């Protein structure tokens, strides 16, 4: 059972797996770095440690960003969108945000170029 503040937990709209989308954004530049999933416990850990903690659907466990890679995210701010189904983490990213080694998860595929 998570220790997430019930006032926050009550506002979350989770998917069928009990997860909420979490977007990481670089502090200062606003650059979108990555998207991952959080459940109540991952959010609680993030709020209390200021270390981005996500829930891995493929592994079925929690992971702290950078714990093994060294590519950490220090969390400065967490916001909840108006629908309660998406979190925004404003972070200082150290190293690559994407598991592929790219700076962001949105570097590789531009489907519609700026114009």
17 belongs to an annotated ligand binding site: no
Provide the number of structural domains found in the chain: 1
Q: Is residue 26 part of a domain?
A: yes
Asked if the structure places residue 88 within a domain, the reply is yes
CATH number at residue 66: 3.10.20.810
User: Is the Cβ–Cβ distance between 40 and 12 less than 8 Å?
Assistant: yes
Q: What is the pLDDT of residue 49?
A: 97
Binding site annotation covers 105? yes
* pLDDT for 3 beyond 80: yes
Percent of the chain with pLDDT over 70: 99
102 a known binding residue? no
13 belongs to a structural domain: no
Confidence of residue 64 (pLDDT cuts 50, 70, 90): very high
pLDDT tens-place string over residues 12-27: 999 999 999 999 999 9
Average pLDDT on 56-76 reads 94
Q: What's the whole-model pTM score?
A: 0.93
Comparing CA positions, the residue from 105, 82, 115, 84 lying closest to residue 25 is 105
| 86 in any annotated domain | yes
Q: What does the pLDDT average to over 85-114?
A: 93
Is residue 43 domain-resident? yes
Residue 114 forms part of a structural domain = no
For residues 15, 31, 112 and 103, what is the CA-based torsion angle, rounded to 10 degrees?
Answer: -90
Q: How confident is the model at residue 1 (pLDDT cuts 50, 70, 90)?
A: low
By residue range, what is the domain housing residue 50? 1-7+22-109
CB 16 within 8 A of CB 39: no
pLDDT on residue 108: 82
Interatomic CA distance for residues 94 and 64, integer angstroms:
13
Is the Cβ–Cβ distance between 75 and 51 less than 8 Å?
yes
99 falls within a domain: yes
Ligand-binding annotation for 40, yes or no, is no
């Amino acid at each position: 059972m998570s220790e997430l503040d019930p006032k926050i937990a009550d506002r979350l709209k989770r998917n069928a797996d009990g997860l909420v989308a979490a977007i990481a954004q670089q502090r200062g530049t606003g650059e979108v770095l990555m998207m991952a999933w959080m459940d109540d416990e991952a959010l609680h850990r993030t709020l209390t440690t200021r270390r981005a903690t996500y829930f891995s659907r493929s592994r079925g466990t929690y992971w702290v960003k950078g714990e093994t890679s060294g590519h950490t995210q220090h969390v400065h701010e967490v916001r909840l969108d108006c629908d309660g189904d998406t979190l925004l983490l404003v972070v200082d990213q150290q190293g690559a945000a994407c598991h592929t080694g790219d700076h962001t998860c949105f570097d590789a595929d531009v489907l519609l170029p700026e114009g």
